[in-house]
Amino acid sequence: MKKRRRKLTPIQTVILSFIAVIILGAVILMFPFCSRDGEWTGFVDTLFTATSAACVTGLVTLTTAAHWGAPGQAIILVLIQIGGLGAITIIAGSFAVLKNRTSLSNTRMIMQAAGNDSFSGVVRLVRRIFLGTLIFEFSGAVLLAIRFIPLYGWLRGTWYSVFHSISAFCNAGFDVLGDSSMEPFATDALVMLTLSALIIIGGLGFMVWDDLITEKFKWKKLKFHSKVVITMTLALIIVPWALFFLLEGSAAFAGRGFGDKLLMSFFQAVTPRTAGFAAVPMGSLSDSGAILTMILMLIGGSPGSTAGGIKTTTIAVMAICTASSMRRSDPVAFHRRIDDTTVRQATAIVLIYIAAAAAATMLVCAVDHFPMRDAAFEVFSAIATVGLSTGITSSLGVFSKLLLTALMFLGRIGGLTLAIAISGERAATPVKQPTGKLMVG
């Protein structure tokens, strides 16, 4: 008898689709027509670039503006857009436009890619994702064009506006301005606030958009998930904003006026989660500012969004559980109790990310002998799909480049998702083991 082929789970299909997109992008970027000098580009560098783009990270071993010509930059932008929306969501959108019937297995994959919590209304959600993406990216491009077209001319200014609007909304952090990223516009309120708005909106999550639109922005009617995401997002902007203003006022922001420091502090609070644009050199941050930036990078955005990281809801669950343990009560927020499964998943996600980041930092230090601060900053940026760097990316050896490539992929897919995909789906064990008493703390 022939063995029955084991069908891929929806999670495995999502992961394989991302791998296919990355490899295809890496192969195309190798060709001479993609580079400015008309030379072939090595596969390790193109794999790193394609992974960084598809996983909306922004780390680069080759400066985007200097190395890649217009075709190469266009391919990177396509990878960013696919990575931001999700390859499966792209396919789902095609089905919706063509009015084809979506199967149950396809619906399950689309639901996971889009961050929806139920099967109902997935096609409607995908339509809203595409429409919302078009509106936000177009609006961002128009606002950026007000500044870029007078500076760079119609053709280049329009391209810069479109590229950076998509890159910001997808939380990618790629730029085509050169090595200094957004530093020339650090005190330009139009550019900084436009990019910040795109980053925040893209990082909220598609399900939160849908809920806000459906409930007409009425707080009391929003789902529990949306309330937690919005509350955490505001907290992770306001508190770091104040901290950066205090910590970097005499360091990275020294010599700036009060208003400029406020603007730069706000952008520095927004961009690590997980956009990756830099308004100041990351190497100029104080040690305290660098630690705060790494914490924000690791937290990242929200589930089902264009952002990576541990996710705001995961941190919220851990914080709520910590507070409930101190009060010796159930973990409750907004009059809703958090179930045990969610708590276990949140704990697993945090441990996977911390363990992977710690191990990778040790390896980069051991292999390439970088200072721990620089190595940790690079690793946190990769696994949280941020793209900020102290400037060592181009100096990494082949091993470290491949290691960060794997971390970027892990960060975009999600540690728990990847672990489930590798282990496969297993039937639940009907017999529960006896409870053991364990002392902790």
Residues 6+ apart with CB under 8 A from 26: 43, 46, 47, 49, 50, 51
Read off the amino acid at residue 303. P
Q: How far apart are the C-alpha atoms of 281 and 285, rounded to whole Å?
A: 7
The predicted pLDDT at position 249 comes to: 86
Q: Which of 33-42, 238-247, 357-366, 432-441 bottoms out in mean pLDDT, i.e. has the lowest?
A: 432-441
The predicted pLDDT at position 91 comes to: 56
The predicted pLDDT at position 99 comes to: 47
Alpha-helical regions (H) of 119-171: 122-152, 154-169
Q: Please give the share of the chain, as a percent, with pLDDT higher than 90.
A: 56
pLDDT tens-digit map of 150-203: 999 999 999 999 999 999 999 998 999 887 789 999 999 999 999 999 999 999
Residues 6+ apart with CB under 8 A from 294: 272, 376, 377, 380
The predicted pLDDT at position 68 comes to: 95
Task: Look at residue 2 and tell me whether its pLDDT is greater than 70.
Answer: no
Task: Look at residue 100 and tell me whether its pLDDT is greater than 70.
Answer: no
Domains of the chain: which residue ranges? 10-422
Q: How far apart are the C-alpha atoms of 171 and 229, rounded to whole Å?
A: 17
The predicted pLDDT at position 110 comes to: 55
Work out the mean pLDDT of the chain and round it to a whole number: 86
Count of other CB atoms within 10 angstroms of residue 218? 9
Task: Of 142-151, 181-190, 410-419, give the range with the top mean pLDDT.
Answer: 142-151
DSSP state of 68: B
Buried b (16+ CB within 10 A) or exposed e, 91-130: bbbebbeeeeebeeebbbbbbbbbbbeeeeebbebbebbb
Is residue 199 within 8 Å of residue 305, measured between CB atoms? Answer: no
Residue 76: pLDDT band with limits 50, 70, 90: very high
Task: Look at residue 420 and tell me whether its pLDDT is greater than 60.
Answer: no
Residues 6+ apart with CB under 8 A from 53: 25, 76, 77, 79, 80, 83, 172, 174
Alpha-helical regions (H) of 328-385: 340-368, 372-383
Residues 6+ apart with CB under 8 A from 304: 114, 115, 116, 205, 206, 207
Task: Look at residue 213 and tell me whether its pLDDT is greater than 60.
Answer: yes
Residue 84: pLDDT band with limits 50, 70, 90: confident
pLDDT tens-digit map of 345-398: 888 889 989 999 999 999 999 999 999 999 999 999 999 999 899 989 989 999
Task: Look at residue 113 and tell me whether its pLDDT is greater than 60.
Answer: no
Task: Look at residue 288 and tell me whether its pLDDT is greater than 90.
Answer: yes
From first CA to last CA, the distance across the chain in angstroms is 55
- 337 sits in which H/E element: strand 336-337
Q: Report CA 393 to chain centroid distance, whole Å.
A: 18
Task: Look at residue 436 and tell me whether its pLDDT is greater than 70.
Answer: no
pLDDT tens-digit map of 24-47: 999 999 999 999 999 999 999 999
Residues 6+ apart with CB under 8 A from 209: 128, 129, 132
pLDDT tens-digit map of 303-324: 878 888 899 999 999 999 998 8
Buried b (16+ CB within 10 A) or exposed e, 230-264: bebbeebbeebbebbbebbbeebbeebeeebbbbb
Token pair for 243: 């901290």
**312 burial type by CB count under 10 A (0-12 exposed, 13-18 middle, 19+ buried):** buried
Residues 6+ apart with CB under 8 A from 202: 84, 136, 168, 169, 170, 171, 301, 305, 306, 307
pLDDT tens-digit map of 114-128: 555 555 566 677 778
Q: How far apart are the C-alpha atoms of 250 and 267, rounded to whole Å?
A: 17
Task: Look at residue 416 and tell me whether its pLDDT is greater than 60.
Answer: no
Task: Look at residue 60 and tell me whether its pLDDT is greater than 70.
Answer: yes
